[in-house]
A and B are shown apart, each in its own frame.
Chain A
Amino acid sequence: MEKYLKIPVTDEAKQIVSINDVKLVEQASTTTVTLAYGSGKLVTLTHAATGANLETMRDEVQNAILDALATGWTAVSYDYNPSSAVSGISIA
């Protein structure tokens, strides 16, 4: 059952990011949150800076994943509106 977070990205409208097989979410820096997938892929959300040692964005992504996975199967995407603007999403 595929599930996605639908995330507003500056100047790019909304982008969807799969939450299937996400094993760990990390606040990698004050401007990036990473989603690590079981396959080894890593998606990085780049966002407006938060304070040092704050994990606000990581916690928001975690909560969005939990909420999305608790929705019924016809709800494929889940709107996540981050408190800090996301300027880019990349995969490596």
Chain B
Amino acid sequence: MYSSMQKYASIPVQSEVASGTTTVDETGNNELQDGSATFTGGVVNAGDVVWDETDDRMYTVSSVVNANTLALTPIGATLGTGVNTGKTYSVYSATVSANQLVATDGVVIVENASADAINSEVNIQYCGVSGISVKIRHAAVAAGNEEMRDGFEDVVENSLIQAWPEVEYKWDVPSSLVIGIAKV
């Protein structure tokens, strides 16, 4: 049994503003098209993060072309060229977020996921090999970039030196936008 003073990092997780399945092949065009979507009216904005979940590629929105179409800029260690038809996607706001707590006590190791082709995942292993693992998914970054891992490691250290009753440590500005945190 692992026992220590419990501490948490409070991490801003960007809000999902749109999701669906693409309906047109935009490969090579750096665009995403979904005939049933409504991206206009402030729903999606330039700078928002697009995740093509099917092919695991990420983009930022460079502009909203029309209600159904987004112009994209590829990001990450492996770059896409636009989203093919029939792909599941999500769009995350660059400006709206809600904070989620992640324990910083009992952490054994923090790793950039080596099998992640686009470099968008940090894995936190707790309490030995039988403990749980939590994945932080963030806007993809260049190959070899480990700023998010290093950032979370700093948060662990900073949170653990806080005296009781300071339980929460705010990670105000991660180096990449966090789009999801989940138990693996």
Contacts and interface: CB of A to CB of B under 8 A. Distances in A.
A binds B: yes
Interface of A: 19-26, 34, 36-40, 42, 53, 55, 58-59, 62, 65-66, 69-71
Given A53-B16, A66-B101, A69-B167, A36 B183 contact: yes
B117 interface: no
Contacts of A25: 100-101
B51 interface: no
Contacts of B37: none
- Decide if the interface of chain A is mainly helix, strand, loop or mixed: mixed
Given A21-B127, A42-B183, 9 more contacts: A19-B6, A20-B3, A26-B181, A36-B183, A38-B132, A39-B131, A65-B8, A66-B8, A70-B165
Contact of B106 (A38, A59, A69): A38
Interface in B89-103: 98-103
A21 B106 contact: yes
Nearest to B101: A62
B98 A59 contact: yes
B127 A38 contact: yes
A88 to B, nearest CB: 20
A40 B131 CA distance: 6
Interface residues of B, number: 28
Contacts of A24: 100-103, 132, 134, 181-183
A39 B103 CA distance: 13
A40 B100 CA distance: 19
A65 B102 CA distance: 12
Contact of B126 (A19, A34, A38, A65): A38
Contacts of B16: 53
A53 to B, nearest CB: 6
The 5 A-B residue pairs with the shortest CB-CB distance in the complex, in nearest-first order: A70-B165, A23-B103, A38-B127, A36-B183, A69-B167
Contact of B2 (A38, A62, A71): A38
A62 B101 CA distance: 7
Contacts of B1: 39
Interface in B137-158: none
A70 to B, nearest CB: 4
Nearest to A52: B16
B76 to A, nearest CB: 25
Contacts of A39: 1, 127, 130-132
